Copies of this chain bind each other. A is one copy, B any other.
Amino acid sequence: MVSTQKVPQIISVKDLDSSQAKWVGLKKVGYVDQKGTPRSWEVAVRKTTSVFGVDAVAIGNILLHPTKPPSTMVVVQYRPPVGKYTVEWPAGLIDKDETAEQAAVREMKEETGYEGKVIDIGPVISSDPGMTSATLQLVMMEVQLKEGEAMPEQRLDDGELIERVVVSLDQLYTRLLEWSEKDQYIVAGKLFYFAAGMHFAKQGKYAGYSSVVSS
């Protein structure tokens, strides 16, 4: 990482009461199943859900350069929950009164410095439906670069250190596999799935499917 900075270190891990937490809570959901049997499920919840009912936004960004192949910017940052540097698309919680689109434009600007054009807004999806009520939307954004243009400044909050890495789209899957092999790094699941989906389609290995890919 940045050589003048220290590697962050976890110094303590303590049980936290749901009532004492500001960002995340733990709930026991009682429900009646399809046969009428009462059951329960343990659920991690976010305490910061927007008025639109969605927690977070991620920005699937495409950087278009006049002379280089299309690429994407991933952000690398230390994430205390996993105790490693994560490789993700820019993302963040949606503020109380924000739409997913507004949050995407804001987070993209904060984390990468770039302003882009929103080209698609995905549906509300579940972060991890076996464990949490948290939801997100994937917003696809295009950024048109100019020849020789310097990277714009980020607008990071105090304490944030987010490294930007530009990866050619056709190398994304391979690069994520390489990152995954490094001890200090872990790739965010959703970005990996997107790259795996691209890789799978590119392989065109499945007869009926490859004809669709090349049409």
For the residues of A in contact with B, the DSSP-based class is mixed
Which among A5, A37, A209 has the highest number of chain B CB atoms within 10 Å? A209
Residues of B within 8 A of A187 (CB): 123, 125-126
In the docked arrangement, what's the CA distance between A135 and B188, Å?
9
Q: Is A81's CB under 8 angstroms from B189's CB? A: no
Q: How many copies does the complex hold?
A: 2
CA distance A151 to B209 in the complex (A): 22
Complex Cα distance, B128 from A25, in Å, reads 15
* Given A86-B129, A202-B212, A213-B201, CB of A186 within 8 Å of CB of B124: yes
A28 touches B14 (CB 8 A): yes
* Residue tally, chain A, CB below 8 Å to B: 107
Chain A residues within CB distance 8 Å of chain B: 1-2, 5-19, 21-44, 46, 56, 60, 62, 64, 68-70, 78-83, 86, 88, 91, 122-136, 138, 140, 159, 161, 169-170, 176-177, 180-181, 186-202, 206-209, 212-214
Whether B129 lies near A132 (C-beta < 8 A) is no
Q: Given the known A-B contacts A21-B26, A25-B26, A196-B122, are A44 and B213 also in contact in the complex, defined by CB atoms under 8 Å?
A: no
In the A-B complex, the 10 residue pairs with the smallest Cβ-Cβ separation, listed nearest first, are A197-B197, A69-B208, A123-B180, A44-B44, A41-B80, A201-B201, A12-B30, A5-B34, A194-B197, A70-B206
Residues of B within 8 A of A41 (CB): 80-81
Contacts of A60 in B (CB 8 A): 196
A81-B131, A122-B192 known, 17 other contacts, Cβ within 8 Å: A6-B34, A12-B30, A13-B28, A13-B29, A13-B30, A29-B80, A33-B78, A41-B81, A44-B132, A56-B130, A79-B126, A81-B130, A123-B176, A123-B181, A124-B180, A140-B200, A201-B213
Q: Are A136 and B189 in contact (CB under 8 A)?
A: yes
A193 contacts across to B, CB distance below 8 A: 138, 190-191, 193-194, 197
Chain B residues whose CB sits within 8 angstroms of the CB of A25 once the complex forms: 15, 26
Chain B nearest Cβ from A145, distance in angstroms: 13
Q: Per a CB cutoff under 8 Å, which of B17, B37, B186, B208 touches A125?
A: B186
